[in-house]
Amino acid sequence: MNGTDGVATLGTRYRYLAWWLLSFTTAFWMFSFPAALRSGESKKNLQDAQACNDAFNARETTGLDTAMAKLTSVIQVNPQSWACFEARAGLYVLKGDRDKAITDETRAIELSKGKEAGPIQTRALLFWRNGSYEQALSDCKLALSRNRKDGMSHWVCGDALVRMGRYAEAFTDLDEALKPEMKVPEMDRSRVLGDRAIALFHLQKYDEAIGAFDLYFASDPAATYVPWARFARGLSEWKLGRLDKAKSDAEIFLEEEPRLQINFSGDHALEMFDLEKRRAATTQAIDIAQSAEAKGDWSASFEAWAKAYSYVSSLMTDGQAILGKISDGLAKDYSKLATKPALPELARRYRTQAETYFRDKDLLKAIKAYSKVLDVAPWDPQAHFNRGFLEGEQQQYQAAIYDMGVYLKLMPNAEDARAAQDQIYQWQAKLK
């Protein structure tokens, strides 16, 4: 989704739905072996499909590596079983290697001659998760050409179209996914409702969008804390002059996006929705930062980049590109500062909370608290290092590699730079 301060930045949305991709891929595989039985495959292929099915189902007992070795050995002997490639793709997903999963799903589609829906649906999800929305759209449309009542493919198409900014087309698929005969599971139905609300918001149908967000919040208690949804509903209310309700959403949103509290707390909360003024303030700060950089005044430049960061919204015109420019400016200037800036008080609050959660061995809460530190002070190298370490402990290797990479970018000459780089190599090995 095209986010603001969440309307849903891709990174945020990814974290929110990652567990769903794994469970959905596994669910597809649960139907793959029965499909193989129905498809009239040779006795040898059926036997191998059964062996792959057994290896996949035993993964929690044997471990992923043992299951992977078993599947690979079957494939080496018989490279014609589409069900075995489908099963191994599921293991690659669980290991976090989506590219290899896509390769195996592609082979499964080729071997089944495109007659089996499972590999096509799963590859659509993998393309979607990789941000390859055109390819995801192509696959889910192909799946729908075989079964118009495939509610989950309607959702994938709709979500991909939202992310591509094709909101009117997205609305059609999302409405189809919500029809009772599509039988979309209740948990996934909530996500369809969220995408539908965002499509209406971007179509500037603000009154309808507010009602759609209300349905989304009612569908899942956790949805009421989703920042991008709160911002979009608040902005819709602000556009319609419903200021009391807009302020309520703004205050909840600010709790999840603390960097904006610098400029938009208290009586200034509603000013958060004036994106034109925010863009003007952002642009002015960027001009000051670039002018200071040209003079080699890294302290003044860093301060101006930080000010730009406190105003920017990815919903502004060219917002995503501007946010990327600001992030790059902060990282570059921080590394050049002779005296590093003190951590803002709000960031210190979240860091203290993160350290408390870590001592209590609540690593997920610690990760979330470090994320709030970085929302306020994305240049804090220690928060990137600590969050990366904790993500590695939770086997979130892609996220861990990213955070440790940012740490090295901010602190290229740190005493532990060698150890940090070696840790990245170890995490990369675990993804293979």
- DSSP labels for 346-405? HHHHHHHHHHHHHHTT-HHHHHHHHHHHHHH-TT-HHHHHHHHHHHHHTT-HHHHHHHHH
Residue 234 pLDDT level (bands cut at 50, 70, 90): very high
Sign of the alpha-carbon torsion through 144, 150, 153, 155: positive
264 shares its domain with 280: no
pTM exceeds 0.85, yes or no: no
Least confident of 45-49, 251-255, 413-417: 45-49
* pLDDT tens profile 398-414: 899 999 999 999 999 99
Q: What average pLDDT score do residues 322-344 get?
A: 92
The pLDDT, as a whole number, for residue 25 is 41
Whether 419 and 376 map to the same domain: the answer is: yes
- Is residue 404 in some structural domain? yes
| Final residue in a domain of this structure, among 336, 360, 377 | 336
Look up residue 313 and give its two tokens.
Answer: 């919204």
Tell me whether residue 198 is in a domain: no
The CATH code of the domain that includes 107 is 1.25.40.10
The two tokens of residue 296 are 């080699």
Q: Write out pLDDT tens, residues 297-326.
A: 999 999 999 999 999 998 888 888 999 999
| Residue 264, Cβ density class (10 Å: 0-12 exposed, 13-18 middle, ≥19 buried) | buried
Residues 34 and 106 reside in one and the same domain: yes
pLDDT at position 10 over 70: no
Co-location of 366 and 426 in the same domain: yes
Same domain, 15 and 119: yes
Looking at the domain assignment, is residue 201 inside a domain?
Answer: no
pLDDT at 142: 92
Does 354 lie in the same domain as 285? no
Q: Does residue 159 belong to any structural domain of this protein?
A: no
Q: Tell me the mean pLDDT in the region 206-220.
A: 95
Domain that holds residue 57: 1-131
4 and 122 fall within a common domain: yes
Query: Within 164-297, where are the H helices?
Result: 167-177, 186-202, 206-219, 227-239, 243-256, 261-264, 275-294
* pLDDT value at 32 more than 80: no
pLDDT of residue 373 exceeding 90, the answer is yes
- Mean of per-residue pLDDT scores for the chain: 87
pLDDT of residue 94: 84
Decide: helix, strand or coil at residue 245: helix
Domain final residue pick, 131, 154, 186:
131
Report CA dihedral (397, 398, 401, 403) to the nearest 10 degrees.
-110
Of 273, 291, 323, the last residue of a domain is 273
Percent of the chain whose predicted confidence (pLDDT) is above 90: 65
Identify the band that residue 432 occupies on the pLDDT scale cut at 50, 70 and 90.
Answer: low
Asked if residue 88 belongs to a domain, the reply is: yes
Read off the pLDDT of residues 41-97 as tens digits, 9 standing for 90 and up. 567 778 888 888 888 888 888 888 899 999 999 999 989 888 889 889 988 888 878
Domain total in the chain? 4
Task: Verify that 221 and 318 share a domain, yes or no.
Answer: no
In a domain, 425, yes or no: yes
Quick one: 304 and 226 in the same domain?
A: no
Chain centre distance of CA 170:
19
266 and 279 part of one domain: no
| Phi, psi (deg, nearest 5) at residue 40 | 70, 35
Determine the pLDDT at residue 289: 97
Judge whether 172 lies within some domain. no
